[in-house]
Amino acid sequence: VVQYVGVRHVVRVIAETGLSEVLAGLAAYIEEDFRRWESFEKTPRIASHSRHGVIELMPVSDRRLYSFKYVNGHPHNMRDGLQTVTAFGVLCDVETGYPRFLSEMTITTALRTAATSALAARYLERRDASTMAIIGLGAQSEFQAVAFKTLLGISRLRVYDVDPAATRKFVANLADRGFDIVVAGSAQEAVLGADVVTTVTADKRRATILRDEMVGEGVHVNAVGGDCPGKTELQRELLLRADVFVEYPEQTRVEGEIQQMPADFPVTELWRVIAGRAPGRASARQITIFDSVGFATEDFSALRYLRDRVQGTDCYDEIDLVAEPSDPRDLFGLLRPGLVRTDEALAEMAT
């Protein structure tokens, strides 16, 4: 059988564990996997672009476990009352090739993205950082706020969204979580005095959410929203003034903010910083940018975390994703009447 964690079970895991504990736990798993970066077989994700969005498959393996995530990005969806990003993922046993663990990953992507951002900021923001600006208050935004508060103690927020309804939702969702929130009238106003700036907007185009002159010395930029070809948030000149940190250059050069730059634009791989092989922030005046696009190891880590977390609980279902005939060569035998219980037979048993 395959263990399956659906939306209601992920919600229960978060309720029973606590959101902060889940984010901290995820960050620890993600950090552990970044540290052993070289043990993974990696590839940029496989993207299928269409007029309004993209559908992506994100595979990775450490040769013991193999995982992939299915994820989409459709900024137009919101107008039709649908989400921009939805996802699910699976963890498989390399030895047998059997899928073992299947999970929803719409909520889990928001969790792992936020945990990764906060983890990167731990190495890249100034030690005395206390205020974060967030531009774009959609589905990902509260997770980012809670992750930075949990991992870095940042509780002062300056926030902006073009849509006042998104702002109201954000403020209401975080009302009881100990934040001091200032709602700004523009992105420019939001970044005033901020030590960290998170951009997490969705628009399938080259947007300029952060202009060069909006960012002063010493700021860390957590650029989350620009994550596919033709979709960026930062002005090119800002990238030239900053030190840029990325997950997997082969993927980020196509999808990230640095798609605006030449192919040899210098970047530092985040795993090197985490593994102590490259410096993170080197001075209080340096501008650092985490050009986040989301990489498959983060989903691998998130699936490992969830799998471990639900063992010994009832926060999962067992599903018959894989046919398991008692004689493995007699797959056809499963078609014999009576062997597989029909819906009618199950309903009869229940009464």
Ligand X SMILES: NC(=O)c1ccc[n+]([C@@H]2O[C@H](COP(=O)([O-])OP(=O)(O)OC[C@H]3O[C@@H](n4cnc5c(N)ncnc54)[C@H](O)[C@@H]3O)[C@@H](O)[C@H]2O)c1
Q: Which residues bind ligand X (CB under 6 A)?
A: 73, 75, 78, 84-85, 109, 113, 135-141, 160-163, 166, 187, 200-203, 207, 209, 224-225, 227, 292-294
Closer residue to ligand X in complex, CB, 100/231:
231
Q: How far is CA 207 from CA 62, 178, 235, 322, in A?
A: 36, 32, 8, 44
In the set 33, 227, 291, 299, the catalytic residue is 227
The sign of the dihedral angle between the CA atoms of 135, 208, 106, 51 is: positive
Instruction: For ligand X, give the closer residue by CB, 154 or 187.
Output: 187
The alpha-carbon radius of gyration of the chain (Å, integer) is 22
3-state SS class at 232: strand
Please give the Cα distance from 156 to 36 (Å, whole number): 34
Q: Is 227 known to be catalytic? A: yes
**Shortest spacing between CB 84 and ligand X, in angstroms:** 4
Q: Which residue lies nearer to ligand X by CB, 64 or 205?
A: 205
SS (H, E, C) 30-43: HHHHHHCHHHCECC
Nearest distance from C-beta of residue 158 to ligand X, angstroms: 13
**Whose CA is closest to 190, among 157, 167, 163, 162?**
157
Hey, what amino acid is at 257?
Answer: E
Nearest approach, Cβ of 99 to ligand X (angstroms)?
24
Judged by beta carbon, residue 248 or residue 316, the one nearer ligand X is 248
Instruction: Compare residues 25 and 75 and give the one whose CB is closer to ligand X.
Output: 75
Give least dist CB 283 to ligand X, A.
26
Minimum CB separation of residue 75 from ligand X in Å reads 6
Q: Which residues are catalytic?
A: 227
